Amino acid sequence: MSDPTTVESEIETAELSLIIEDFLETLTVQNRAVFMRRYWFSDSCKEIAKRMGLIEKNVTVRQAGYFGYQRSCMALFDIKRNIQFQLGYFYRKM
């Protein structure tokens, strides 16, 4: 008999993946890269600016402009952390 927690986690992970993909498709390529660098890889605005050839202030303004709803971004970060925790738990059980 399979563990229902694992099945539920896999379904939630798949659903979350679709939600994030839909959100990212609404962004331009450059804005998507800024978002991913900031909220997925946790790069600083300074690091993002250097990597992408932008001015740090430009990254900060972009962030404030199209990510004004930072609660959503932080929710994504929390979800990412939860997924990583669940995957770590899943792999430890194997």
Distance from chain centroid for Cα 9? 17
Q: Is 73:67 a contact under the CB 8 Å cutoff?
A: yes
Task: With beta carbons less than 8 A apart as the criterion, state whether 30 and 48 touch.
Answer: no
The whole-number pLDDT of residue 5 equals 64
Q: Which two tokens stand for residue 87?
A: 């995957």
Would you state the pLDDT for residue 10?
A: 82
Tell me what pLDDT residue 65 has: 63
Domain 4-89 top-level CATH class: mainly alpha
DSSP label at residue 38: I
pLDDT of residue 49: 95
Crossing angle for the helix pair 56-66 and 45-52, to the nearest 10 degrees: 110
Domain definitions of the chain by residue range: 4-89
